A = this chain, B = another copy of it.
Amino acid sequence: MSTAPLRKDAARNWERIVAVARALVDEGTPLQLNDVARRAGLGVGTVYRHFPTAEALLETVATPCLESLTACGRQALADDDPGRALTVFLTRTIEAQVLDASLAAVTAAPGDALPRTAELKRALWSVGAELLARAREAGAVRPDLTGDDLVPLMCGIAYAAQVHGGERERAETARRYLAVLLDGVRSRPEPDA
């Protein structure tokens, strides 16, 4: 019920807009709806009809990625090595964050424009929490981390890689940082000094 099926032409416009937005995100240009409209060869009004705000559009662009990430998490739940499951999931997450600016922005944002986004983020959060919980029960992970820490930490890693500079080796850098963090995650915390 939430989404009425669009007329064929409207659907085509929707696609066009999202495609243009994706391209802009990928080239690092900030999303401006006027700009999107011009590049899509559509009126501004049309873009506004489909996406009331730039955030809504950005979230739409990020959605497929969020979905596949969630799916990946669910698959990982099937793995019978909880430590490995967590590692795989986080690795995929980081890769996605680094490669897709829309994902990083949406993930880090405190609020959401679209219900669908909120839903997906909740799902992702909880899969992560579940993976973490299992790993912890298996003794593969230190006890002082909660499910709420996963996403922030992933955002942090991605951000660190970006601060490091070097567009080129960003993915490699992120991988290295994740490796360090994961070793920390697996370690026993020292009894507090």
Binding site for B on A (CB under 8 A): 107-108, 110, 142, 144-145, 148-149, 151-153, 155-161, 163-165, 173, 176-177, 179-187, 189-190
Give chain B nearest CB distance to A1 CB in angstroms.
17
8 Å CB contact of A160 from B152, B165, B180, B187:
B152
**Contact between B189 and A185, CB atoms less than 8 A apart:** no
Give chain B nearest CB distance to A144 CB in angstroms.
7
8 Å CB contact of A184 from B156, B158, B187:
B187
Bound CA–CA A13/B70 (angstroms): 46
**Contact between B177 and A183, CB atoms less than 8 A apart:** no
Give chain B nearest CB distance to A148 CB in angstroms.
7
8 Å CB contact of A156 from B110, B151, B156, B176:
B156
Residue in chain B with minimal CB distance to A158: B156
Query: Among A163, A179, A182, which residue has the most Cβ atoms of chain B within 10 A?
Result: A163
A149 contact set on B, CB distance < 8 A: 164, 173, 176-177
Residue in chain B with minimal CB distance to A188: B183
A190 contact set on B, CB distance < 8 A: 183
A182 contact set on B, CB distance < 8 A: 184
**Contact between B160 and A153, CB atoms less than 8 A apart:** yes
8 Å CB contact of A183 from B108, B158, B184:
B184
**Contact between B151 and A163, CB atoms less than 8 A apart:** yes
Give chain B nearest CB distance to A142 CB in angstroms.
7
Between A and B, 25 residue pairs with Cβ closer than 8 Å are A108-B159, A108-B163, A110-B165, A144-B180, A148-B164, A152-B160, A152-B163, A152-B173, A152-B177, A153-B177, A153-B180, A155-B163, A156-B156, A156-B157, A156-B160, A159-B159, A159-B160, A180-B185, A180-B187, A183-B184, A183-B190, A184-B184, A184-B185, A184-B187, A187-B187
